[in-house]
Chains A and B, each alone.
Chain A
């Protein structure tokens, strides 16, 4: 038998060491794959969505002749309302053509084509403006008006001269004119506040679509979720952690809660449809029903961390309270609960975050409806949070189902908004945990 030096690795050792390195490389690859997936996801969403926060406007001076807009001559709102957006569109086309002529840019486009470069929403904007400021009739008004989605897409790189040549909604001549107007400072791009405040818009005008109703609906639902699930979850976890005897009945509740946390969310949608809408006859599409469904779904997801928070309070605290004559209930409510509160709060915020991003159950209770009216928190007819509304994640789904490619940008922009809300909520949760967490 030949003895080799320990310092020289033999074939078997080399093989084993190679296997070791390979194994480690697999692990590293897995981490890299996961992080790359995250980066690709974020790049994809931010890449397509970031541009929805900027929007192209044109500064247009619109003539407002009295004989067209106010036949009564006394600024009677009811008479002025008889002029529809079609009437305003004509004035708008005229005004925009005048602007183009005044700028000295040569173009062969007709007045209708030039006017068509503005959004279909522009006529409604100017009509609302005139109805609110009737003294402007007889003069002229200078306003920033939305350009249509194709022109806007050209400045964002979504529409090119080649694609415009194939597109019946725009033409390379229009894009060239738009570019010239931009150079002349008449067309400009600015931060799009309207995206966060406007309601949804119809299929042909993605440039006017906004998240106002969706944000309001999501806010209402979060209020409902917070008000219903926080007290119930805290009460349930106090009972299970502090009072429940160990028997079959409480075992059943425990198994139940961990199962409910894993039930597919769409099942809660079916539950909401059957119980809240078909049986209790609450309003379809209302934030109340949406909030209740999300509360049922969130409850087990809050109870689990809340119980962990209660459990982490050391028994000596309870014993001390009982020792000086407090009742069991007093020891829990005066001592254990305040100490567990930061942990419970963290769990609640994370649960709310999950509820905010949940989509599937809301589709089933009718929140996919097209809603342009801002829902009121309370009306005598619809009750509390009873008016039809939509929600942020559902709005994303809605926009993905539209034909106009401009809506893809809007959907990604809505996701960015949603992710920012989630980021803020989670940051608050982490801050609370860091600030108040106590190690015993």
Chain B
């Protein structure tokens, strides 16, 4: 059955909100009914019960809700069970209600059982994190496999030409996109790492309390600004400025969107990221190490350069790697600031493009999920995910290892 038919047919079925509303009502009714029944089963003397009546009620309510939710999730992941899902849900809710009511007796430890149900909810919630990762990997793996069945993987990974053509015969090599991504990230980091690191050093070692109370929140504001704002800043201010005052007079070209534009603006975005991470790490270096160095007659800057920074180095490297991962995955700044031309050039004032820009451009507008031109976005996404995952895991490992060292 085609998807269109499926949705048409379900019009004759029960709408989804019927079983969900019924379950909620049954749970509320079950709560009061079970509490009453438990009290009645003890002959009205609730001291004879193994748990408070409200806990019997809670047990029944949870016995209705949790299995139904589980059935809903399982049912949805099997495509709605051919439209029979609402009936199945009603059945499960009813069954949960009957079984839990049947169990009521003065000896039944309702609280323990209700708490087991709650624990099931808690565990399920934490498993969602795992499921998200699995979902990410599988959704991309599946479509990537489709892509590689239509397009040679060697051409994808090693070809230096990117020219998608929706009439077929596209060249879809990732190298120019990776080049743009890495070039922009490099410029961003060259700007953000010294600024962020020196800002962190100044704030944690030199700044007076007053300077700190003003400068630290100001830098943190940069971290709270959405990336679309940076993108617009690149588009309307930084791009034209760089073009008019640097690129054109120096003969580097006349494009407002360029590697430099995107790189600089992304650098600004990364400053608070680098500085707050480095700040934590520098503060974790024990004071005794500084005191020892100062006691031997070193100046403050000598202490920082020869004692604090070497001690904090692994953590700082971790912070830089995390910043690099952010830069590689950043989308809106490059969409608005870097341009769309896939090109491999050393000139930083030329427009180039990145992996994320091409994911956006291949997946917006008219998409046909059978053509390699659309499916390539999933292969790009998977590559991006693998690169950033590798950087993150490595960086988090270093940072964690480093923290343990001084704890």
A-to-B contact residues, CB < 8 Å = 16-17, 19-20, 22-24, 26-31, 33-35, 37-38, 40-41, 44-45, 48, 231-233, 235-236, 238-240, 243-244, 252-253, 255-260, 262-271, 273-275, 278-281, 296, 299-300, 303, 327-329, 353-354, 356-360, 363-364, 366, 368, 380, 383, 393, 396-397, 400, 408, 411-412, 415, 418-419, 422, 426
What 0/1 readout, one digit per residue, does chain B (312-354) give for beta carbons within 8 Å of chain A? 0000000000100110111110011000000000000000000
Q: Is B199 an interface residue (CB 8 A)?
A: yes
- Chain B nearest CB from A101 CB (Å) reads 41
CB pair B325 A262 closer than 8 Å: yes
The number of inter-chain residue pairs (CB within 8 angstroms) is: 265
Nearest neighbor of A37 in chain B, beta-carbon distance: B268
CB pair B331 A264 closer than 8 Å: yes
Provided the pairs A38-B218, A396-B228 are in contact, do residues A235 and B322 lie with their beta carbons within 8 angstroms? no
CB pair A24 B381 closer than 8 Å: no
CB pair B218 A275 closer than 8 Å: no
CB pair A29 B122 closer than 8 Å: no
* Residue of A16, A269, A270, A327 ringed by the most chain B CB atoms within 10 A: A270
Residues in A neighbouring B124, C-beta threshold 8 A: 235
Q: Is B389 an interface residue (CB 8 A)?
A: yes
* Residue of A235, A264, A278, A408 ringed by the most chain B CB atoms within 10 A: A264
What 0/1 readout, one digit per residue, does chain B (293-308) give for beta carbons within 8 Å of chain A? 0000001111011000
Neighbour of B115 across the interface among A29, A267, A327, A364, CB < 8 A: A327
Q: How far is the CA of A422 from the CA of B226 in the complex (A)?
A: 9
CB pair A238 B122 closer than 8 Å: yes
CB pair B359 A364 closer than 8 Å: yes
Residues in B neighbouring A28, C-beta threshold 8 A: 202
CB pair A253 B198 closer than 8 Å: no
CB pair A296 B202 closer than 8 Å: no
CB pair B329 A263 closer than 8 Å: yes
Q: How far is the CA of A179 from the CA of B7 in the complex (A)?
A: 58
- Chain A nearest CB from B70 CB (Å) reads 15
Residues in B neighbouring A273, C-beta threshold 8 A: 363
Q: What's the dominant secondary structure at chain B's contact region?
A: helix
Nearest neighbor of B336 in chain A, beta-carbon distance: A400
Residues in A neighbouring B227, C-beta threshold 8 A: 357, 359-360
Provided the pairs A236-B128, A238-B122 are in contact, do residues A271 and B222 lie with their beta carbons within 8 angstroms? no
- Chain B nearest CB from A65 CB (Å) reads 46
CB pair B140 A44 closer than 8 Å: no
What 0/1 readout, one digit per residue, does chain B (222-261) give for beta carbons within 8 Å of chain A? 1011111111110111000000000000000000000000
Q: How far is the CA of A260 from the CA of B364 in the complex (A)?
A: 24
Neighbour of B202 across the interface among A27, A275, A380, A411, CB < 8 A: A27
Q: How far is the CA of A325 from the CA of B155 in the complex (A)?
A: 67
- A sample of 27 cross-chain residue pairs with beta-carbon separation below 8 angstroms, ordered by A number, consists of A19-B301, A24-B300, A30-B196, A30-B198, A31-B207, A34-B272, A40-B237, A45-B233, A239-B125, A243-B119, A257-B129, A263-B388, A263-B392, A264-B385, A270-B136, A270-B139, A271-B140, A274-B143, A328-B115, A357-B228, A359-B227, A360-B332, A363-B363, A393-B228, A400-B231, A412-B236, A418-B226
